[in-house]
Amino acid sequence: MMKKSLIIFILIFKILPAQELPYGVPNYFELSPTGSFYKINLSVPSLFPNDILNLIEPIHFKSHKIYFLELKLEKVEAFHFELINSLFSENLTLNFIDLNTTGWVGPYTKNIIVNNSPFISGQMKTDRILIEISIPIGQEPKFPIQKILHPKRPKHFEQPIPIRTLRSRESNNKILLCGYWPPSNECIRPFSRNELFNPNGWIGENWEDSGYDIVSFFPNFTPPDCDNCGQGNGDLEVDYQDTSDDWWNIVDSINPIAIITFSRGYIDYSWEMEWKYYNSINWVPDFTPPTLPTPSPPDSTWPTNSPRFSSLPLDSIVAAIDSANLGLNPYIDYSNGAGNYLSEFLGYHGVWYKAQMDSADVPCYTVGHVHVGGLIGWETAHEAAKITLREVIKVVDEFKDLPGDVNEDGVVSIMDMLLIISHILGYNILSENEVVLADINIDSVIDIYDLMLISNIILDFN
């Protein structure tokens, strides 16, 4: 389906229950308030006065007071909000609505932000924002927003460096894609090898003559653009235990060399690259008991509530999506994890698997999660997924070569040592790529030390 039908479902206030748990629909769409809102003009960055709610006349709706504040920026630009955790009372709900697209970021509640300090909202890119704050009648009005600010890469930002494996490349050419709610399942459906889920045929075999088979797994919903999806069924389900069981079966069966997981993000046009995923004990309940992960935290080998990090080429993916002119807002989320729901659970399983493979010296070079904006049309999301794949393949191509395999025949052998000896003696100079493969100790010199290391590799293989 195209984005038009998706927008229609949003505007009539029917949204996936799987999304209502960590997300939800702003009251603005149901209220359709007439007249003008209280407005302020400001620049980025700016602080908010903490008494601003005293200037706004609320709307009484369903035992709540709804405050609307319209912001007008000087220009269309990227920004997010810093929230004040302590001012989130019970049942206070905060949404940020893009008045240019009718997309939104949120909702934010006390339960969502309790473990993050300070909490940074999802990124937006617009010049007209409507802030919606819903407060139960009888509670003291509080404005839980500290400031609006530009996105900023943290000083401690870093990504795991892909590790070159010493194993053969022959049997490991598959890249795994997983998705959840539309459009994240639909954008990878053509890569499914299941004829029931992908009757138009698998497009992933030796995709774009890259040498890699792309395979995908995801849940299905009836109808596909459903307004009452529930748990779904198929390769994956919106369920912690089912997801974990299916995940380990999938990766054990295909041994992926790279992994990209997808899920639905904010209801906007974002292509949000998640940087980190927490081994959390604080999860949003799913549908079927037990409604929380068992065990929790899921990973007994990593400290509780500690993050693992994406190794996707985040910057290059953002740049490639941006230059494709698809009308999307690609960015890296540096801050709050991936949502404490099935999205983060799936994303964590990816980086967890990579850590296991790195320890076992098995090739899995790059892994990470993408939140796909809920307003993105399925065809556009598919194009963005392909662009993301191409950037991932560049990384895999760079790091898949077998150190010491100078002649690139898939094994490290005496033939590679003879080529290096010939190079050292000046009989047959290695090419630039061959030099990279021969330089085992990465000191930019091909010498006897590289020969000794290759000898050790051969002995280990045998």
CA distance 83 to 129: 16
**Percentage of the chain modeled with pLDDT above 90:** 59
Gyration radius from the chain CA atoms: 25
Min mean pLDDT across 2-6, 20-24, 96-100, 306-310 is at 2-6
Q: Domain check: are 42 and 144 in the same one?
A: yes
Q: Domain check: are 381 and 349 in the same one?
A: yes
Q: How many structural domains comprise the chain?
A: 3
**457-to-236, 416, 451 alpha-carbon distances in Å:** 40, 11, 10
Does 116 have pLDDT greater than 90? no
Kindly report the length of the chain: 462
**CA-based nearest residue to 357, from 261, 248, 280:** 248
> What integer is the mean pLDDT of 348-352?
97
- What is the pLDDT, as a whole number, of residue 1? 39
Does 245 have pLDDT greater than 90? yes
- What is the pLDDT, as a whole number, of residue 4? 37
- What is the pLDDT, as a whole number, of residue 228? 62
Q: Domain check: are 331 and 275 in the same one?
A: yes
Q: Domain check: are 423 and 385 in the same one?
A: no
Domain that holds residue 55: 33-149
Q: pLDDT grade, residue 410 (50/70/90)?
A: low
Please check whether residue 154 lies inside any domain of the structure. no
Q: Domain check: are 50 and 106 in the same one?
A: yes
CATH code of the domain containing 378 = 3.40.630.20
> What integer is the mean pLDDT of 96-113?
89
pLDDT in tens, 311-324: 999 999 999 999 99
- What is the pLDDT, as a whole number, of residue 261? 98
Work out whether the CA dihedral 112, 374, 129, 53 comes out positive or negative.
Answer: negative
Does 283 have pLDDT greater than 50? yes
CA distance 140 to 142: 6
**CA-based nearest residue to 176, from 347, 378, 398, 374:** 347
Q: pLDDT grade, residue 104 (50/70/90)?
A: very high
- What is the pLDDT, as a whole number, of residue 114? 61
Q: pLDDT grade, residue 170 (50/70/90)?
A: very low
- The two most distant CA atoms of the chain are separated, in Å, by 88
User: Residue 458 belongs to what H/E stretch?
Assistant: helix 448-461
pLDDT in tens, 188-233: 999 999 999 999 999 999 999 999 999 999 999 888 886 567 788 8
Please check whether residue 406 lies inside any domain of the structure. no
CA dihedral 230, 124, 323, 433 (to 10 degrees): -80
Please check whether residue 159 lies inside any domain of the structure. no
**Percentage of the chain modeled with pLDDT above 70:** 89
Q: Domain check: are 140 and 186 in the same one?
A: no
- What is the pLDDT, as a whole number, of residue 167? 45
Q: Domain check: are 92 and 197 in the same one?
A: no
pLDDT in tens, 1-30: 333 333 333 333 333 333 334 457 899 999
